[in-house]
A and B are shown apart, each in its own frame.
Chain A
């Protein structure tokens, strides 16, 4: 199993550009999530999904969109990048919504100039 994979590893954007961060898992997990990690703030939940076709907002959803057309994939879209979105982004998956271990991808380091 590859586990949770994320692409790209690094990305530099200019303010106003859009892009999609890719996330895929091969563990048949129903629950997937996106976090951002900022220095001194730990991880904060952006969006999550409890299954194909079902998504919801987390703690910091503004400026991001998600969709879940398949169980395996959960892309995160930045609609119009801003410097405040400079961060490290982690995708995670879990067997279910309730109290199970989350498996994390290696992260995408995004810089917005």
Chain B
């Protein structure tokens, strides 16, 4: 069965600094990969997804992620963080079916002024 590891529980960055959130997955075939963001008291919102094709995926709010098959990783990046990016970020991996999706434990992002 697939699994997802987000090694960083909590990350703090200064506003304007770059950001990289790590995600490693375990899956036997080509995975479907997702990044979701959860603002306090809100549900999850999809930032971006990878199914196939170009391994660098662009998402909403200026985020991007790169699929690296050799490293089983799908790290999320943003060149310049804004205070409004403070939230919890979840990586998820799935097969073709939504009911096979597995979520990581999440990384909480704090943005310093």
Contact = CB atoms under 8 A, between A and B. Distances in A.
Given A42-B104, A43-B90, A101-B49, A106 B42 contact: yes
Interface string B73-113: 00000000000000000101010111101111110000000
Contact of A97 (B36, B46, B92, B99): B99
Interface string B17-39: 00000000000000010101000
B63 interface: no
Interface string A71-113: 0000000000000000000101010011111101111000000
Interface residues of B, number: 26
A107 B103 contact: no
Contacts of B96: 98-99
A112 B63 CA distance: 38
B44 A42 contact: no
Contacts of B41: 106-107
A58 B98 contact: no
B97 A97 contact: yes
The main secondary structure of chain A at its interface with chain B is strand
Nearest to B102: A42
Nearest to A102: B98
Nearest to B32: A99
A93 to B, nearest CB: 10
Residue with the highest number of chain A CB atoms closer than 10 Å, among B4, B42, B103: B103
B45 interface: yes
Contacts of B51: 99
17 contacts: A31-B98, A33-B98, A41-B105, A42-B102, A42-B106, A43-B44, A43-B92, A44-B103, A48-B98, A58-B99, A90-B43, A90-B44, A98-B98, A99-B32, A99-B51, A102-B101, A107-B41
